[in-house]
Amino acid sequence: MKSNGTNAPSGPSQKLVFVNRYFYPDHSATSQMLTDLAFGLSKAGHHDVHIVTSRQRYDDPLANLPAKETVDQIRIHRVWTSTFGRQNLLGRAMDYLSFYLAAFVELLKLTDAQTILIAKTDPPLISVVAAVAAKIKRATLINWIQDLFPEVASALGVRLAKGPLYTVLKALRNRSLHQAGINIVIGEHMQQRLRAEGIAEQKIAVIHNWTDDLAIRPVPNESNPLRNEWGLQGKFVVGYSGNLGRGHEFDTLLEAATALKDKPDIAFLFIGGGAGRIQLEHEARSRGLANIQFRPYQPRERLAESLSVADVHLVSLRPQLEGLIVPSKFYGIAAVARPVILIGDGNGQLGGMIQSGACGFAVAEGDHQQLTTHIRQIKDDPALAEKMGNNALALLRDKYTQSLALAQWKRVLGDTAPNPTTTTR
């Protein structure tokens, strides 16, 4: 991908305006999904793609990316926001509010009756802002729902997400869902949640998240440079890659790491960031767990190597978040043909995928003994590990490739496109 100044795409095309707080070159999960889709649609032609986003990176609020940029014919509009970052709740709220206001102004400039406006879910409730802009400019709204707010906040015990405020926020969110031409959800359990909110069946479509399965391929341990750089050659590596947030429970895996700390051939590896990483590092130090190491997010071009370092991957999701969030890290794990152990609800969205694909195990929160047993089971049976990894890759190629998702998106956009002769709603 390269920047082309501010040159506009040529030829007739369908105008798409996406809004999300992060976009390329940011590497956070929502940014990567949007980056893949936006560049895929632009490359396919017939789409004039605009992105309304912030000047920040997920892990660097002071990044100050260019305000205007065109990259491979995608026009990026980066609005100014406050830059307090994610560590302080009040500061985060100010970042959200400033993005809402700046994005709203930019959306009013960019959209008209022939525009399809696609709102993701970062920051929370951006669909409400997008819905107002779409109504004023008579644009067609699509909500691309990665998580359901305020339900997530309520499930995590956030005090402000309770009582009358919760009811008001949920009503505003639902109004934006009713207004949309279609609401894209990332799993069947999330689809059920929207049905329960009274959203019409014809206004809900399931398009699972994905990974770049052409770029992310298995890298053998013996030829993986990161294994050498991180001193992990000859070890069985239990990996966790991605965000360490409030929706993820880590006591179970810490207990497993503690139980296995005297096994020099087993190492735990955490790659990523998030609100929980500092706490997790502190707890690992206090327990004297030399078998755990931490690494920052890796550049996307090294993702195949970083994901392949692990022999088995852990995914954590608190059971109360089922149907509200789907961990997208599973798709990258599957792309490098590694087994996965879910710490969470084995009957939930991801638990069902793992079970149907025979590509790993699920253990309940707090059951560190079962987690330890499964880690040892996979370590001691290389044939089982290989079979589960191959099953994960087969499942990905059958149902969750980037090309399949792109084709689904093209169909949805074609079905939702405004009639060029119609300017009223």
Mean pLDDT value of segment 205-213? 94
pLDDT digits (tens, 9 = 90+) for 9-23: 444 589 999 999 999
Predicted confidence (pLDDT) at residue 86 exceeds the cutoff of 80: no
Q: What is the mean pLDDT of residues 193-206?
A: 97
- Which whole number is the average pLDDT over 295-322? 95
39-50 average pLDDT score: 92
Each residue's pLDDT tens digit, 144-191? 999 999 999 999 998 878 899 999 999 999 999 999 999 999 999 999
| DSSP summary character for residue 62 | T
| pLDDT reported for residue 177 | 98
By C-alpha distance, which of 97, 102, 134 is closest to 116? 134
Close Cβ partners of 386 (under 8 Å, ≥ 6 residues apart): none
The pLDDT assigned to 273 comes to: 84
Instruction: Calculate mean pLDDT across residues 307-333.
Output: 96
Domain ranges for the chain: 14-210+402-416, 221-399
Residue 17's DSSP bridge partners are 50, 117
Question: Residue 235: CB partners within 8 Å, gap ≥ 6?
Answer: 264, 265, 266, 267
In sequence order, which residues have a C-beta less than 8 Å from that of residue 25 and are 6 or more positions away? 57, 65
- Inter-helix orientation angle 126-137/89-110, to 10°: 20
Distance (Å, whole) CA 165 – CA 171: 10
Q: Mean of the per-residue pLDDT values for the chain? A: 93
Q: Hey, CA dihedral for 371, 373, 377, 379, is it positive or negative? A: positive
Tell me the CATH number for domain 221-399.
Answer: 3.40.50.2000
- pLDDT of residue 4 exceeding 60, the answer is no
Using a 10 angstrom Cβ sphere, with 0-12 exposed, 13-18 middle and 19 or more buried, the burial of residue 62 is exposed
Is the bond preceding 123 in cis, omega lying within 30 degrees of 0? yes
Side chain identity at residue 343, one-letter code:
I
DSSP for residue 322: B
Residue 387 has a CB neighbour count (10 Å cut-off) of 14
Are the C-beta atoms of 185 and 412 separated by less than 8 Å?
no
pLDDT at site 59: 79
Residue 263 has pLDDT above 80, yes or no: yes
Strands 47-54 and 74-79: parallel
Q: Which of 41-45, 155-159, 249-253 has the highest mean pLDDT?
A: 249-253
In 3D space, the residue among 417, 213, 229, 226 whose CA is nearest the CA of residue 306 turns out to be 226
What string of DSSP letters covers 330-343?
HHHHHHTT--EEEE
CATH number for the domain running over 14-210+402-416: 3.40.50.2000
* Secondary structure (3-state) at 401: strand
**Res. 8: pLDDT tops 50:** no
Average pLDDT over residues 251-261: 96
| 14-210+402-416 matches 221-399 in fold | yes
Judge contact between 185 and 415, C-beta under 8 A. Answer: no
- Judge contact between 374 and 252, C-beta under 8 A: no
CA-based nearest residue to 61, from 26, 20, 34: 26
Helix axes 126-137 and 163-179, enclosed angle (nearest 10) = 40
Token pair belonging to 222: 């013996």
Q: What SS3 class is residue 311?
A: coil
**pLDDT at residue 78 above 80?**
yes
Please tell me the predicted confidence (pLDDT) of residue 422: 47
Beta strands in 247-324 (DSSP E): 266-271, 292-295, 312-316
pLDDT tens digits, residue range 342-363?
A: 999 999 999 999 999 999 999 9
Give yes or no for a contact between 148 and 199, defined as CB atoms under 8 angstroms apart.
no
The pTM for the full model equals: 0.92
Q: Is the pLDDT of residue 62 over 70?
A: yes
Distances (CA, A) of 203 to 82, 181, 195, 197, 219: 35, 6, 10, 12, 41
- Does the structure show a pLDDT above 70 at 7? no
Using a 10 angstrom Cβ sphere, with 0-12 exposed, 13-18 middle and 19 or more buried, the burial of residue 143 is: buried
Cα dihedral 243, 398, 1, 239 sign: positive
Closest CA to 297 of 287, 307, 288: 307
